[in-house]
Amino acid sequence: MTNIIYIVSLFIIATGIICQFSNNSISKTAVLMMPILFSIIVLIFIGNIKNFRFENIYPLLGTGIKPTFFTGLSNLFAFSGIAYLLFLPSKLKNPKSFKKIALTSVILSGIFLLFAIANIVFLFGNTLSHIAVFPLYICVRYIEFGTFFQRLDAVFLFLCTIGSISFLTLNTYLVVEILKDIFYVSDNRPLVYPYLLILFSVALTIKQNSVLEFMENTVSKILFFLIVISSTFIVLISANIKKNKERNVMKN
């Protein structure tokens, strides 16, 4: 097995190199990766169609009304990507196009999620919980385009790795931008490496999958609802109050 230090180093160094260049390199990496990742998700769907059992969608309400629509609300966490939209307006050349960009981002996230979930549901139904391997990876292992293309999982993992680097780069950029504003630093580049070093150390300290699952399924969900959902509403309500006050002042 490959030492985890090498794997984490690969991500950290690639992220460091991209962040060292201008902001354009981050957006260009994302723009380059997005269609590739989108194609691979669609390709997995198409490649697995012959294995799909569309009846797996039944019963329509899954485990019941309460678990699906009430306790299942926390699954909105899957849309945590919209948190990035909060940081976007100040970075746009044309802030007026924000609405269009936000809408496109949410639709694209929805399509990604729809294809990924459909792959898993149509292939496994509700019997997947016993398998320890990453579900979408198992979906890829079912794909066989004739006798020539039979091992697409390696390609999938490679593209996932590059996609993850792109994702990590965006996160790093936003964190460094926040740190830059907090510490009044003119250039954000010197902050990249200390941050990545901390990230590298934290990544190595996590030894068990259960910790990652706890972070993903519990901590991240709480943070999503506290920061993304609550803060959005607080900002919206505050902005409305402020706007109303300004109107009143103008009238007076």
Partner 1 sequence: MKELFKWSIIIITTFIFLNGFVASYNAESIDHLDYVIVIGVDTIENSNNFEYSFEFANISSFSENASAEDNKPIINKVSAPSITGAINIMNSYVGKQINLSHCKVIVFSEEVAKKGLLPEVSALINNTQIRPTSNVLVAEGKASDYIQNSTSSLERVLTKYFDAFPNSSEYTGYTSNIILGELYTNIINKNIGATAILGRLVKTSNKEQSSGSGESSSQSNSGGGESSSDSSSQNSQNEVQNENNQQSESQDTNQTPNQDKTQNESGHDNSTKATSQDEAVLEGDRGTENIGLCVFKDDKDVGHLTAMETLCYSIMRNDVEDFFARVDSPFEENQKIDLAIVTLSSTKINVNTNQENPIIEIKLNITGEALNGLDKLDYSKTETLNKINDSLKNYLTNEMLNYLNKTSKELKVDINEFYKSAQKNFLSLPDFENYNWPEKYQNAEFKIEINSNIMSANLIQNS
Is 210 near partner 1 (CB under 8 A)?
Answer: no
Question: What does the alpha-carbon distance between residue 39 and residue 7 come to, in Å, rounded to a whole number?
Answer: 25
140 to 159: interface string for partner 1, x by CB under 8 A = -xx-x--x---x--------
Please count the residues of the chain: 252
Beta carbon of residue 86, minimum distance to partner 1 (angstroms, whole number) = 32
Name which position in 43, 138, 160, 223 contacts partner 1 (CB under 8 A): 138
- Residues 17-36, interacting with partner 1 (CB under 8 A): 17
What single DSSP character describes residue 145? B
Question: What does the alpha-carbon distance between residue 68 and residue 73 come to, in Å, rounded to a whole number?
Answer: 7
| Candidate ranges 102-110, 114-122, 131-139, 179-187; the one touching partner 1 (CB under 8 A) | 131-139
CB hemisphere CA count around 59 (13 angstroms)? 6
95 to 124: interface string for partner 1, x by CB under 8 A = -----------------------------x
Buried (b) or exposed (e) across 164-173, using 16+ Cβ within 10 A? ebbbbbbebb
Question: What does the alpha-carbon distance between residue 125 and residue 165 come to, in Å, rounded to a whole number?
Answer: 31
Name which position in 35, 55, 94, 210 contacts partner 1 (CB under 8 A): 55
Question: What does the alpha-carbon distance between residue 213 and residue 187 come to, in Å, rounded to a whole number?
Answer: 36
Is 132 near partner 1 (CB under 8 A)?
Answer: yes
Is 13 near partner 1 (CB under 8 A)?
Answer: yes
Beta carbon of residue 59, minimum distance to partner 1 (angstroms, whole number) = 5
Residue with tokens 């803060």: 231
Contact 117, 128 (CB under 8 A): no
Q: Which residues bind partner 1 (CB under 8 A)?
A: 2, 6, 9-10, 13, 16-17, 53, 55-56, 58-65, 124-127, 130-133, 138, 141-142, 144, 147, 151
